[in-house]
């Protein structure tokens, strides 16, 4: 069965557009704290983000957390899935057992710590902290996808 990428991408675009349109209608129809920018009574991990220094700390977390997540998702996670856990990869290409355990353990620990803090970020329900993460994820994903596709073209030419 072939991948139905046009169907999947069409559903992504249509559903995302519906959600954004509905959100815009809801925001303009009601008063909301969703579009606040800067310090407010927003709470992150039990702390009020009511000063610029606290706001900068949460914004920094949002930005750097997404940078690390995007890089790990484009590099380490595929390696674990496509090399370490793939039964078709010859054992000599997987590296040592210690290296494999190290990579999987580092990834698992990173994933859990990041997930806990991300829950706090999502609970704030603030677009100001989520929008930079979305933009960063798109940029880094574009960079790595472009690199993988260019590398593929080089291999096809050889």
Task: Parse the chain into domains and list their residue ranges.
Answer: 1-32, 36-157
- pLDDT at position 60: 92
106 phi-psi bin (left φ>0, alpha ψ -120 to 50, beta other): alpha
Instruction: Indicate the pTM of the whole model.
Output: 0.70
**CA 23/CA 152 separation, integer angstroms:** 39
Give the confidence band of 124 by pLDDT, cuts at 50, 70, 90: confident
97-119 pLDDT, tens per residue? 888 889 899 999 999 999 999 89
């Amino acid at each position: 069965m072939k991948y139905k990428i046009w169907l999947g991408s069409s559903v992504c675009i249509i559903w995302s557009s519906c959600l954004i349109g509905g959100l815009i209608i809801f925001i303009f129809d009601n008063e909301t704290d969703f579009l606040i920018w800067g310090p407010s009574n927003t709470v992150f991990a039990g702390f009020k983000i009511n000063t610029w220094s606290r706001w900068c700390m949460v914004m920094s977390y949002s930005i750097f957390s997404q940078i690390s997540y995007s890089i790990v998702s484009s590099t380490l996670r595929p390696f674990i899935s496509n090399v370490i856990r793939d039964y078709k990869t010859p054992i000599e290409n997987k590296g040592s057992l210690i290296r494999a355990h190290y990579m999987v353990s580092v990834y698992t620990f990173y994933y859990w710590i990041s997930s806990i803090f991300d829950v706090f970020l999502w609970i704030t329900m603030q677009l100001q902290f989520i929008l930079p993460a979305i933009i960063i994820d798109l940029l880094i994903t574009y960079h790595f996808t472009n690199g993988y596709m260019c590398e593929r073209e080089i291999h096809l030419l050889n």
